[in-house]
Amino acid sequence: MRLYLMFTAVTMEAGGDDDDVADGQHVQPSSANTCPTGTREEKSNESIDVDEDDLFKHSTTLTNKQRGNEVTVRPATLDALSIHQLAAQGEVSQVAAHLSKDSSLLSRQDERGFTPLMWAAAFGEKAVVDFLLEKGADPKTIARERESALTLASSGGYVDIVESLLRHGVDINTYDWNGGTPLLYAVRGNHIKCVEALLAKGADMTIESDSGYSPMALAVALGHKKIQKVLEDHILKLYKPQT
């Protein structure tokens, strides 16, 4: 699974203009046959011709089947779900029950290289994230396509999880398979609070994705005016003479 920066649809979609997007808003998972990250964004600046497919090539959504929600003749019970699926659904008690039987599940990576912590971060399940971190889950784990828990949380707009992961010493400038950093994903999703949190902790504004977009260039291309203002204010603050 790929995180597809500059992105497209994620499991929790955040669309609309600057005034409409809420950080960490939960939306019903897509049924596309992919997995989490990235967000779908309406272009608010019609004068700029931006092909979002060129920004991030593919969608990465967790399907209902993967998450254990697919409607079948026999609906999946919690007992039938993997610890990764339970983490994505926010089932703290069930996750704890699995770990009590097999502690190695804490760091178990699935076929995409995702850990339970990464799935919880991708779906904004803060209680599960906190529980797993308390149990010693490694927040620095990198998945097969170089996705990280921080990138997934930033893409979804979950600022509380972003801040928690940053307190645990994760690499704030980690990049995925196409050069997407947490800051770039937060900008792409129009997640103002995540952008502010990342900048406050020193996220590098000069890093470009493989498609050539810096955070500022991406904000301009997508017409995210409030994000532009946050980035501009941060630049001015960096270069403001010390008194």
The answer to whether residue 120 sits within a structural domain is yes
Rounded to whole angstroms, the Cα distance separating 48 from 192 reads 21
10 lies in some domain: no
Q: Is residue 35 domain-resident? A: no
pLDDT in tens, 131-190: 999 999 999 999 999 999 999 999 999 999 999 999 999 999 999 999 999 999 999 999
Q: What is the CATH number of the domain that holds 100?
A: 1.25.40.20
- Name the CA radius of gyration of the chain, rounded: 18
Q: CA 189, 204, 23 angle in degrees (round to 5)?
A: 25
Q: What is the average per-residue pLDDT within 107-119?
A: 96
Q: What share of the chain is helix, strand, coil (3-state, %, to 5)?
A: 45, 0, 55
Average the pLDDT over 42-57 and give the result. 44
Domain count, the chain: 1
Give domain status of residue 221, yes or no.
Answer: yes
Query: Residue 29: inside a domain, yes or no?
Result: no
* Higher-pLDDT residue of 132, 63: 132
**Containing structural domain, residue 174:** 52-239
The reply to whether 197 falls in a domain is yes
Binned at pLDDT 50, 70 and 90, residue 128 comes out as: very high
Which of 149, 142, 203 minimizes the C-alpha distance to 177?
142
| Longest pairwise C-alpha distance within the chain | 70
**For the residues 36-40, what does the mean pLDDT come to?**
42
Residue 101 lies in a domain: yes
Q: What is the pTM of this model?
A: 0.73
Residue 11 domain-assigned?
no
pLDDT of residue 146: 95
The burial class, CB within 10 Å (0-12 / 13-18 / 19+), for 237 is exposed
51 pLDDT tier (thresholds 50, 70, 90): low
Residue partners of 119: CB distance under 8 A and separation at least 6: 36, 62, 84, 85, 87, 88
Q: Which range is most confident: 3-17, 24-38, 164-178?
A: 164-178
